[in-house]
């Protein structure tokens, strides 16, 4: 079982963005969750509890181990919080579906309390830390250009100028500026910047 859980947790260790890793874990969870209605034996339900719980744990591990550039703004952090909470809520709902009326029969299933309690504490702690992180992260601002401008002027306006021009590249990436807008950005264009 430990080897299987290690394989389930492996995507959280990939050197990839949080968004991609969480999407991969969410897809794995959705495939597992879609089979809940077919689980009839107590042993298959215990296996589901273990494997799906490992995916929730793995999503938390992903959320608290970002790659550089994953948390550029408070919106990025809040999106990850939403994803983790959604996964946890679906897991709890699935376990409620699998639970039988009581644990008195041989074929009864009641989820094991200890792992659920520990996982609940882990989820709550991770979410509280992510909320604290979102309070100190940059906040997104949106502006619609009042007149025609260009990348250099707008970067200087919102971020200042640096010697290596990294801020210009950052500004271009944040606003998905293509070749047609490098020299001139038209009046009325939506501009995103962070403070």
Report whether pLDDT(70) > 90: no
Residues 75 and 159 in one domain: no
Residues 31 and 95 in one domain: yes
pLDDT, tens only, 90-134: 999 999 999 988 877 888 899 999 999 999 999 999 999 999 988
Segment 158-170 shows an average pLDDT of 85
Residues 27 and 115 in one domain: yes
Task: Give the pairing type, strands 140-144 and 190-194.
Answer: antiparallel
CB atoms under 10 Å from CB of 55, counted, come to 23
DSSP letters spanning 131-154: HHHHHHS--EEEEE-SS-B-HHHH
Locus of tokens 């939403």: 82
Residues 104 and 170 in one domain: no
Residues 116 and 155 in one domain: no
pTM of the shown model: 0.77
Residues 104 and 190 in one domain: no
The confidence score (pLDDT) of residue 15 equals 86
Could you tell me which residue, 173 or 127, shows the higher pLDDT?
127
Segment 4-27 shows an average pLDDT of 87
* H or E, element range at 121: helix 113-136
The confidence score (pLDDT) of residue 8 equals 83
The confidence score (pLDDT) of residue 69 equals 80
Residues sharing a CB contact under 8 Å with residue 191, sequence separation 6 or more, in sequence order: 142, 143, 144, 145, 154, 158, 175, 185
pLDDT, tens only, 18-43: 999 999 999 999 999 999 999 999 99
The confidence score (pLDDT) of residue 179 equals 87
Residues 132 and 116 in one domain: yes
The confidence score (pLDDT) of residue 103 equals 76
Domain end marker among 108, 136, 164: 136
Residues 32 and 94 in one domain: yes
Residues 115 and 145 in one domain: no
Q: How confident is the model at residue 87 (pLDDT cuts 50, 70, 90)?
A: very high
The confidence score (pLDDT) of residue 173 equals 87
Segment 65-81 shows an average pLDDT of 88
Q: Which domain holds residue 115?
A: 2-136
Classify residue 70 by its DSSP letter.
S
Q: For the chain, what is the domain count?
A: 2
Q: How confident is the model at residue 12 (pLDDT cuts 50, 70, 90)?
A: confident
Residues 108 and 151 in one domain: no
Residues 29 and 108 in one domain: yes
């Amino acid at each position: 079982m430990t080897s299987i859980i290690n394989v389930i947790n492996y995507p959280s260790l990939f050197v990839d963005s949080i968004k991609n890793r969480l999407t991969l874990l969410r897809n794995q969870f959705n495939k597992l969750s879609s089979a809940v209605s077919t689980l009839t034996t107590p042993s298959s339900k215990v296996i589901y509890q273990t494997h799906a719980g490992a995916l929730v744990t793995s999503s938390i591990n992903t959320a608290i181990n970002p790659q550089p550039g994953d948390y550029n703004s408070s919106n990025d952090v809040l999106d990850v919080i939403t994803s983790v909470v959604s996964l946890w809520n679906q897991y709890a709902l699935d376990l409620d579906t699998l639970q039988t009326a009581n644990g008195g029969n041989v074929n009864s299933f009641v989820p094991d309390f200890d792992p659920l309690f520990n996982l609940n504490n882990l989820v709550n702690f991770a979410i509280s830390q992510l909320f604290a992180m979102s309070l100190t992260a940059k906040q997104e601002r949106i502006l619609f250009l009042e007149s025609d401008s260009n990348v250099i002027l707008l970067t200087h306006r919102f971020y200042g100028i640096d010697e290596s021009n990294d801020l210009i590249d950052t500004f271009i990436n944040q606003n998905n500026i293509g070749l047609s807008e490098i020299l001139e950005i038209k009046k009325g264009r939506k501009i995103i910047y962070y403070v």
